Every structure is written in C-alpha cells, then in structure tokens.
Amino acid sequence: MIPGYFTSALANHLWQSTLFAFAAGLATLALRKNHARARHTIWLVASLKFLVPFSLLVALGGSVRWSPPAPVASASGFVSTMEEISLPFIAPATSPAIQHGAGTRSGSPLPAILLTFWAFGFSAVALFWFIRWREVRATVRAASPLPLHSDISVLSSATLLEPGVFGIWRPLLILPEGIADRLEPAELETILAHEWCHIRRRDNLAAALHMAVEAVFWFHPLVWWIGARLLEERERACDEEVVRLGSEPHIYAGSILKICRFYLESPVMCVSGITGADLRRRIVRIMTQNVTNNLSPGRKLLLATAGVLAVAGPIAFGLAGAPQSRAQSPAEAPAASAASPAPTFEVASVKPNKSGGNGVRIMFQPGGRFTASNVTLKFLIRMAYGVQDFQITGGPVWLTSDKYDIEAKAEGPAEIDMRTMTDAQRDADMDRRKLMVQALLADRFKLTLHKESKDASIYALVVAKNGLKIKEATAEELTPPDPNEPPKPPDAKGRMQGRGIRMGLGELTGQATKLSFLAEVLSNQVGRTVVDQTGLKGDYDFTLKWTPDESQGQMFRSPGDAPPPSDPNGPSIFTAIQEQLGLRLEAKKGPVDLLVIDHAEKASEN
C-alpha cells in the first residue's frame, strides 16, 4: 500500500513541475527571435525539473537551524500563503479517525493498482529505448574505422542509418558507406559541421537525461511535448551554427534533403543525427536566413536571476519554516514578550517511573506546585502545548513508552484561588502554566520542535437537525463561589459543583462549560481536530455517554479498570453526540496545527 503522504507528495511534485514547464514555455515565447540554443536550454531545465522535486530543496533549507531576527508580522502569513500555493494536495491525516457506524476497514487498493500500472508503463518505455539503443550499438560494433583526420573516431557503417554521433562521454561519428559518392564535398562538409556542433553542445547527454524523464513520467503528456521541443530547438541551434560558420544556405539545405532521401533517421533521441524535427520548417529557416538576435545583457540577467530563484527560492522557503533552537508553541498567543521573561519552575525533580501501571495523575496545586505521576513525554507535550496525540509527529520511540514522575515548584507568592477567577484570568493562568511546563521540557528533556500547519480532515461541531438538547447553565452555577467556603460535594446525580468537564471511560460530564471547550475535549476522542461551529457562546450543562473503543479507553484505564464495554448495541460517540446533546460532528477539510519533534533526550534522574 502506498502511504497517503507519498501520493500527496507526488501530486504536488507533478503540479509544481507542470507549472514550471508552462513558465518555461512563456520564456521561450519571449525569446522566439533569439538564438535557438537559449530556448533549448530552457526546455532542458524544464525537463530536469521533473527529476528534482522542490520538496528536496525545501527540506534542505528546513534542515538548517538558525536564530531568526525580530519577528515580522507578515512573515508567517507569507510562508502559509506560499505553502498553500505550492502544495495544493495535502496528505490525509495519518491517525485513524473513528468513522460513524464503520468498523475496521482496509485501505483502498487504488494506489497499489496505479503503482502497478505505472511500473508496466515505465518498463515498456525503458524496454523500447533499450531495444533501439541495442540496434544502434550493434551498428557501431559492425562499423569499420575511416581514415579521416579528426579529433574523434570516425566509423563507416554498412547500414542505411543517417550520419550521427553515438556515445556521451567518448562520442563516435558514424557515417554510412558511400556517403562521399552521394554528396558533393561542400555538402559533406556541412554535414560534418552539423555533427560537430552536436558534439560540442553535448546534445547526446541532454537527450539521454530527457529520455530518463520520459521513462519515469511516461504518463504525463507534457513530458513528451517537451521532448519534441528539445529536438526541434536542438536541430535549429545546429542549423544556425552551421550557417554562422560560413556554409552556404542552399548547399547546406540541399545536403539535408539528400540525407533524407538516401538514409534512415536515427532511431533514438540520444544519437544525434541531422534529419530530426520538422524538416519543412528547417529548410525554410535555412534558406530565408532569418536573423536571430543575441541575448541582450538585460535578458541574460533576467534568465540568470530566474535560474537562481528556481533553486534558492525553495531553499529559502524551507529556511523560513526551519526549526529554531528552542521549542515553540503552535499557539502564538501565550508566547512571552521580550520585556517579561518566560515563567519557569524554580526547582524540578524528574524521576523514571518503573511501576508498570497505567494510571496517570497530573495536577497544578496552590503555591506554584506541579506534580505529574506515571506520565510519558508525549503526554506532557500534549498538555504543555494544548494539542492532541494525533497532532504530534516525529520523535524517538520511547516518547510514548518511558514514564516519569515529576515534581516542580515555581517561585513567587501562592496562586489565586481559581474558583474566584474570571474566564480571562483562567486563560492567562493556564497559558502561564503551559509556558512553565514547556521550559521544563526544553531544559530536562532537551526538547526542540517546530510547528507545521496542513489542511487535513477535521470535524465541525454543529447543531443537529432536530435542535439542541442541552440547557444553559443557571445563574447560580455561573456565580463564583466564596473562596472562604470549601468546595461543594457532588450533587445527588454525581455531578460536579462548578465549571469544567469531568472525563471518564466512555463518559463526559460538563458543568457550565462552553461548547468550544467541549470541541477541544472531543478532538482527542475522535482522533481529529474538532472545531466549534455552533455559533453558541453560552455555558451549558450536559452528560455524554457512549461505548468507547480500545483506543479511547487507554487514557482512563488503571490496572484495576475493566476493559471498555463491548455491547454492540451501545451508541458510538458520533451517535451519542447527536442523540444526547443535539449536536453533530460534520466531516470537513480545514487547517490542522502539527507539532514535529526535532530532538528529545531521556531526562536524567535527580
């Protein structure tokens, strides 16, 4: 099976190469009155682009670690815009999202079928070129040397193959037997001049490279069209050079017509002959002696700049999104300003947990204390950066296996009672806590990471067709409690007293909770980002119960816990949301923030 990221990368590469080829076509159109050698070079670059994905250059730039200057507000927007333009095809989410009413299903066989189809096409094209090359090779081996004074070997062939140059690194000039009897000395001289032009220009090497492109991308019509353009401009460039060196146009044109009359065209593109391209147009150009202009300094500079940008642009694009030396959050809002340094813990103890249990406990306590028991580094990253498991990629294997106990304390006065805080104060305090844990991870685990944003499959939380089935919280629930009174115990139904969500195995209980927070909690349950699109800004009470699958039950299971219910008639989380809450998860495409782990080390015990 072909991974989704591979198919999306291939689609992006084909898109970029096609766009590059159209740009090359516009450039050759602008240079139609200039020498053919310039247009041949442009088409060759367009062909080679198919062998060089921009993603390799972007990765090269992204592998560089650097310290950026002061942030520019438009920089991130520019990078995001360029990424959307250059990468219109996004890989599907790699984490298995839970589909409503669907069991375990195998992947689509279409990618494997397409790969097999491509392999057959590649083999057919490669075999065709190989057979043709073997025919020419046999002709060369049967040829005999000609006693001509030349810097390269000249051979005489008994076949009717036209004069041509065979070989790339050590070229040989093949002439058919008796050609001197069919051509006048002046005509033969023009033919030899034409072949010498092919040798000086290394046309066989250029043709061989494009043949490789045709074999790999045989399914792309534009590749074959570029091949025709390369052949046309190659022969035209040699025609221009032969006439420029002083050959009479009518003698040169006559020699080409005689070659076409008596001999066969070269069977492969990488054996440069003389009769290729549109013969009628070639003869007209030779006889009319159309004036071709040299490239002006301005056009030379423009072409050189375009070539540099084609290589340097993707590298700079990768450099713009390169991971920096410190871990960074996907949310820019909680970042500390230069005037106020990021909050950190004064002291911290990190010890490996060897208990073998599954129970996890994590708590922020008054006095700036933070304790975590039996937690993995991935769990800590998820908490510190406000993301879900499916948004974390990369990193070593032990990221999800090694467990730790952590105790840390921040300097400063005791914390304010969260029960008396406003929503804005709670958000600011939570951002501060996250920054402190981020600093701890960077210090003790040497964690470095960077953010990537991709369009992927998400869920939108919307109101169901039959309307909302939950009620807004009462004024009493929204009133901050007296800090001098102890917390209220659960009510007769076991519900918490105060704001928040209580999570259990296959159950969520919300008290005076905003639906945006419910969407955030549901994200980890369904394996996709859930975005609140209900348009409801109030605080709601609700109870949600469903039949969890194995993956949903892992985070709540302790050694003594029973496995998740296996009742086949129990509602899935999708059904429960619709029937019990009057809400619905609607599949869409949207931006998803990912955290890519660049480096992490096991924390030493202290």
DSSP string, 190-239: HHHHHHHHHHHHTHHHHHHHHHHHHHHTTT-HHHHHHHHHHHHHHHHHHH
pLDDT number for residue 96: 35
Span of 190-204, 207-221, 264-278, 564-578 with lowest mean pLDDT:
564-578
pLDDT (average), residues 542-568: 59
Tens of pLDDT along 239-265?
Answer: 999 998 888 989 999 999 998 888 888
pLDDT (average), residues 377-393: 87
pLDDT-derived band at 448, boundaries 50, 70, 90: very high
Q: Which of 36-50, 429-443, 462-476, 540-554 has the highest mean pLDDT?
A: 36-50
Residues in a beta bridge with 363: 371
pLDDT number for residue 221: 93
pLDDT number for residue 547: 86
Spatial separation of the C-alpha atoms in residues 153 and 175, rounded to whole Å: 11
Q: 332-343 burial, b for 16+ CB within 10 Å, e for fewer?
A: eebeeeeeeeeb
Span of 129-138, 205-214, 517-526, 559-568 with lowest mean pLDDT:
559-568
Tens of pLDDT along 295-340?
Answer: 677 777 777 777 676 666 666 655 565 544 344 444 444 444 444 5
pLDDT number for residue 478: 58
pLDDT-derived band at 422, boundaries 50, 70, 90: low
Task: Give the distance from CA 289 to its chain's centroid.
Answer: 49
Tens of pLDDT along 182-205?
Answer: 889 899 999 999 989 999 999 999
- Asked whether the predicted pLDDT for residue 417 surpasses 70, the reply is no
Residues in a beta bridge with 500: 511
Whole-number average pLDDT of the chain: 77
Residue 221 or 71, more confident: 221
Spatial separation of the C-alpha atoms in residues 279 and 258, rounded to whole Å: 12
pLDDT (average), residues 174-179: 89
- Each domain of the chain, given as residue ranges in start order, spans 1-67+90-107+292-322, 121-290, 347-480+494-599
Tens of pLDDT along 59-94?
Answer: 666 555 554 554 444 444 444 444 544 555 554 443
pLDDT (average), residues 400-413: 82
What dihedral do alpha carbons 18, 19, 21, 24 form, nearest 10°?
Answer: 180
pLDDT (average), residues 139-148: 85
Give CA separation, 155 vs 161, 167, 351, 435, in Å: 12, 13, 79, 77
Span of 150-159, 277-286, 477-486, 563-572 with lowest mean pLDDT:
477-486
Give CA separation, 487 vs 345, 414, 472, 482, in Å: 28, 18, 22, 9
pLDDT number for residue 266: 81
Spatial separation of the C-alpha atoms in residues 472 and 543, rounded to whole Å: 13
Q: In 523-577, which ranges are E strands?
A: 530-532, 539-545
pLDDT (average), residues 434-458: 89
